[in-house]
Each structure stands twice: as C-alpha cells, then as structure tokens.
Structure 1
C-alpha cells in the first residue's frame, strides 16, 4: 500500500538534488513542511525525432531507449535514514512535451517508462491537446510557462480531462524568477477558472535549486493570485496531489485499485435473563379439535 502525507510537491527538477548538497536539500524540504515529493525528468518529441534521424544515418545500431532511466531514489532514501526522518516519501515523475502523437507510442511502450510513478503531459499544439483529451492516459496536465497559453481549451475539453482523472498543474517557481512567466501563469490559471472553476488544480514548485522552494502556506497565499478560493488553495497542496498519486497507481496497475486489510471479527454473545418480565412463553400444546354433530 502506497503511503503519502501532506504537504506535497510533485515537480522538483532532477538538478535540484545535486550530490554535493543532497543532504541539505532534503533537510530543507522537510523543515519547510513537505512530506511527499516527486523528482521530475522531462523529454520532448523533438529529441525523439532527432534520435530517429541518427538511426537512419547509421550512427548507433544499438536499441537505445528514448525514455531516460529514472532518477535513482536510493541515494535520497539513504539520506533520509541518515537524518532519521520519518514520514517522508519520494516518487519518480516523467513529463513529456509533445506536438503530435507519433512518438508517444514508443514512449508508453518503453521499459524505462514503466518504472516512473507519475506521468505528466504538456501538449503544445491543438492536435496534441485533442489527443490528450480523448486517448492519452496520464496523471497531470502540465503547462510550460515560458510560452503563452494559446491552446484552444474550452469548457467541454476541461470537463473531459477531469472525467479522465487529469489534474492541472501550476508551477510557482517560474513566477518567482521571471515577470513574463508570471504573467503567463496568471493568464493560464484564469483560463482554468473560466473553463472549469479551477477544479482539479495542483501547485508544484518546478524548482531546480533550493532557493526557489517556498513554504506550503506561502504557496497557499500565492494561490489567490491564480484565482483560487481558500479551500481550493489548500487542496492544491494536500488533497489533489494525493489523488494524483492514487490515480497513478490505478493507471499503472489497472482500472481499479483495491486495498485488502485483515479485520478481526468479534462475536457478541447476547444472554437472555430468565427473570425478564417481557419473556414470551411459547405454547407447545396442540389446538383442540372442534366437536362435530353426528
């Protein structure tokens, strides 16, 4: 059974966990209040097309996996044991940025892809958006704030994504770094509000260094800039990310998840007292036969 606990940050870049400052990074995340994190790795369909061209030219005959090997979580687990930290969980996440669905089949059939816990997609074209809404099975609908949100998302597509257990992610570290990216994020978040009333929103950092991580309560206050209510801001760092992890288990293992727990049954013995006034007497005598005239 997968155990998680709030608060969550499901998008921390791989470069955040450098070998030199790994212990310091884990300690800072724990002190800020995060108990469940995900190490993110990103691939683009442009890199997939370039690898195809190299194979056609005969550059490498070996069957190279287009999906990178997941980040080794054993190093983080060793640091957690060293610091004697309880209730801290780490997952692997893969984010795919794509413009068409040609290379997605090879990604989903990759052996390395099956090793990731969370799968996020970031379509860059309207064709890719329609494919995501109708066919592609993923956990998170990601958005790259470096470019303006120009996809033709509407209320119908937003509802369709929610019905397919998608959660819409907003990264706050780009809003801290750059003013133009902050505008793009606010623009995208207000579109989510107009199309779906900001349902199924999660907050993640997307940080590549510890200086960009903020306290979960600061992130909750930041959510008011994105058009969310107080309850939605709180669930964006607690309840919704936990649903993402639970849905990811269902996506990888099957359509439904069932947890079995052993429960000891206790038999209750009811004693009937003989002195009870309300005790009913059972008549065991046979009914008398009626006399008939002869």
Structure 2
C-alpha cells in the first residue's frame, strides 16, 4: 500500500514560470507545486447581435490548464498540480463557472474577490478551495471575523504570497497587514503561504519560508503548517470537492499489486 506524499508545498507558481527550471524548486526542499492560471475578470462589453440562422460558438470562461511537456515531468520528482485563480466582483460569476468544462480539469480552484459582496459569496456559498488577494493593492474592504470563520468552517483556505514582497515594498506592507488581519480575526487558521513566483529567482528555500512566519504573525507550529500540513489538507479537500465524499481511491498498478492513495 503506497500513500501519496505531498510534503512541503508551494501551491502558487505562475504559469509563465520557465518549466525547464521547475526542478530547481525541488532542490529548495519542496515536494509539491501548483501551476497557477489567473483568469482576470471579463470586461462588460456588449455582445454582438447574433444574425438569423447563425450559431454562436460556446466560449469557455476558463482556459485549459497549462500543458506540461513529458520531458519536464520526467526531470523532477515534484508532484505538479494545476490551479486556477479567478477574479470576480459579484455572484453572477456562478453561472459562468457552472457552464465551464475546463474548470473541472484543475486540481485547485482559488478566487480573488474584488468587492465585499464577492468576499461574502466566496466565504458562504462558492465551491472553492482558496481565497487570495493580489498584494499589489490593499484589500478594498474589511475582513470580518464572522465571514473568516464561516470560510474556515467550510474548509476554505486563505493564501499569503511572499514573492511580491521581494519585488515591491508596497506589496510587502500589504502582505504583512493582511497576515496580521487574519491573525486578529481568526488566529491565522487555515492559512497557506505560497510564492506566487514568476521565475526561479523568486522562490525561497522551504526553511526561509518557515522563518518568514514570524513576520506574518505565526507561531513556530503555524509556520510549518502553512507550507506542509495546511497545504496537504487543502489538496485533500480539493480532491473531495472534485470526487465527492469518499475514503480512498484504488488504482491498479499491475497484476500483482494495487496502489492506494489517501483522499
């Protein structure tokens, strides 16, 4: 019986990251990464009027996951997951997500709520795994205790990204401010820390990320949890969201043995 080992995780690597260098993340102590595809909020441009007899092609709101070349997958022992992060301002996004076939092809679903209404909807109703914010600007509303704990109760995680802090002092202030807000309203429960890296120069050694926890208002145990235990719980919760409630999956390896992975 072989159990899937997720180990230390960086669950936000930008999909423009140079894939031929992804093996370098393994050397920094990580075991699992998620390639993140960002879906920006669509503009409200009016639709063109359909001509009589014309069939309109159904366009998926969500793009397909990034294709990982076989030689890249073979060059590393990293578990490589696919993640999508969707910006939205109100609950009307639900219809587009329900109509998307591509959304089902991602391992992790994250959202960036742009308004308080969107944040309320994400915490209370959306079938998602992660709530995150772009640190280049401050969160445009107050994160309240009730909504935070509601999200935690539903198994949703809150993400902090550190690579923008390396690039920009304003982002650094915003990240620290957000982290301390999470501590104040929810004692930093269900936090994950990821890089959000665009290249290998923006990823830090796993021990450096753990040490970063002190600045983010985390105690020593929480600093390890945000890159290992919480990340593992998030991955398993995401599996449950896709597969429904179940206890294990069984994959046949060969005629003599079965591989069982926890879910």
Q: TM-score, normalised by structure 1?
A: 0.79
Corresponding residue for residue 248 of structure 2: 259
Q: 1:44 & 1:117 partners in 2: Cα distance?
A: 19
Higher helix share: 1
> Where do residues 1-40 of structure 1 align in structure 2 (5 Å cutoff)?
3-17=4-18, 22-23=19-20, 25-40=21-36
> Where do residues 1-294 of structure 1 align in structure 2 (5 Å cutoff)?
3-17=4-18, 22-23=19-20, 25-47=21-43, 49-50=44-45, 53-56=46-49, 61-73=56-68, 75=69, 77-81=70-74, 83=75, 85-86=76-77, 88-254=78-244, 256-259=245-248
> Which segments of 5 or more consecutive residues in structure 1 lack a partner in the other structure?
262-294
- Higher-Rg member (1/2): 1
Are 2:22 and 2:200, in contact at CA under 8 Å, matched by a contact in 1? no
Q: Could you give the per-residue CA deviations for residues 96-123 of structure 1, whole angstroms, max 9, x where no partner exists?
A: 1111111332123301111111000111
Report the number of matched residues. Answer: 247
Are 2:50 and 2:56, in contact at CA under 8 Å, matched by a contact in 1? no
Of 3-12 and 162-171, the range deviating more from structure 2: 3-12
Are 1:129 and 1:151, in contact at CA under 8 Å, matched by a contact in 2? no
1:56, distance to aligned residue in structure 2 (A)? 4.2
Are 1:101 and 1:131, in contact at CA under 8 Å, matched by a contact in 2? yes
> Which segments of 5 or more consecutive residues in structure 2 lack a partner in the other structure?
251-263
1:210, distance to aligned residue in structure 2 (A)? 1.1
RMSD, matched Cα: 2.0
Q: 1:187 & 1:106 partners in 2: Cα distance?
A: 32
SS of 1:225 mapped into structure 2:
coil
Q: 1:134 & 1:68 partners in 2: Cα distance?
A: 26
SS of 2:134 mapped into structure 1:
coil
Are 1:41 and 1:94, in contact at CA under 8 Å, matched by a contact in 2? yes
